[in-house]
Amino acid sequence: MTKTAVITGVTGQDGAYLAELLLSKGYTVYGTFRRAASVNFWRVRELGIEADPNFHLVEFDLTDLGSAIRLIERTKPQEIYNLAAQSFVGVSFDQPALTGHVTGLGAVNVLEAIRILDPSIRFYQASTSEMFGKVQAVPQNEETPFYPRSPYGVAKLYAHWMTVNYRESFGIYGSSGILFNHESPLRGKEFVTRKITDALTRIKLGTLDKLALGNLDAKRDWGYAREYVEGMWRILQADEPDTFVLATNRTVTVRDFVNQSARQLDIDLVWQGEGESEVGIERETGRELVVIDPRFYRPAEVELLLGDAGKAKEVLGWEAKTSLEDLCRMMVEADLRRNSRPAHHILEEDG
């Protein structure tokens, strides 16, 4: 029997890759999008899945319980992957209540709809390493105490515990993937990796002067999104619902990511100065290419993330394989291609 899955947030990075994966496994996929003046389907289009006969787009808003109920009544899924969220940490400081409604309470709307209509549906919650925040141990695994440092992290922690609670209270198969940062050419440009690869390729092509960043010292465990959606699927195939960390077990600074991406473009950077005065200078020409703009600092920062995905390897047979160098190369090549095209071809992309 073919399976049916719902993916909330299919217009986002992970939603698009997960839809591609599930379709390749023979699933019927209902991907949700939000009603807006203009909806942007560039990611599913770029993956070539928009026209797949087993792929259906459904309108849905996470903040509306009725919307969640109608979604399940209409699609009758066996699996729901809850990827929709206000997912930008920086924005969550300016819109904390909205972030709480969407990213926190939104998950409960889906859980409630499952509880009311069909408790046999398997539910995946997109939890995050941001829940570790001010880290209490290095590396972080499923046992590490949480200490979120942003309204986003706090909202995700609420959704995470509600998933555990529905598992324990109502016997619902609710699993949670605590995923560390994962990137790709489909990453939104507001996130630092794609901001870097987009800007450096424009600098290389001569259409941008400088890249302005915030905290260069933050360390992240960056993996490749396509591998992480495979992990999400494996999490929902396990015999028992559970919580799993997915990570690469390597960590580098934002500055390192800039250096790696610059190298892909044959730009050799040297760093001078400290704090707000730090600059990244092209060795060959002496041009200032990277500067600090304190507007990109966060009121509270997560300084270091490094994940231990040992449990996922042991139980699910999942592990991250893509090197950081290959990830940077993929992202730089895609942005070089996009930014080399005439302007009217890139209008559809984000940002």
Q: Which residues are catalytic?
A: 128, 130, 152
242 binds ligand NDP (CB under 6 A): no
Binding partner at 213 among ligand GDR, ligand NDP, none, C-beta below 5 to 8 Å by kind:
ligand GDR
User: What string marks each residue from 22 to 61 as x (binds ligand GDR by CB under 6 A) or -?
Assistant: ----------------------------------------
87 binds ligand GDR (CB under 6 A): yes
User: What string marks each residue from 95 to 134 as x (binds ligand GDR by CB under 6 A) or -?
Assistant: ---------------------------------xxx----
185 binds ligand NDP (CB under 6 A): no
Residues 138-167 that bind ligand NDP (CB under 6 A): none
The residue at minimum Cβ distance from ligand GDR is 218
The stretch among 111-119, 137-145, 187-195, 236-244 that binds ligand GDR (CB under 6 A) is 187-195
13 binds ligand NDP (CB under 6 A): yes
Binding partner at 34 among ligand NDP, ligand GDR, none, C-beta below 5 to 8 Å by kind:
ligand NDP
Q: Which of 52, 65, 70, 90 binds ligand GDR (CB under 6 A)?
A: 90
Q: Are 194 and 257 in contact (CB under 8 A)?
A: no
62 binds ligand NDP (CB under 6 A): yes
- Would you say 98 or 279 has its CB closer to ligand NDP? 98
Q: How far is the CB of 78 from ligand GDR (least distance, A)?
A: 26
Q: Which of 19, 44, 68, 85 binds ligand NDP (CB under 6 A)?
A: 85
15 binds ligand NDP (CB under 6 A): yes
Q: Are 289 and 348 in contact (CB under 8 A)?
A: no
Interaction site with ligand GDR (CB under 6 A): 87, 89-90, 128-130, 180-181, 190-192, 195, 213-215, 218, 220, 254, 296, 298, 301-302
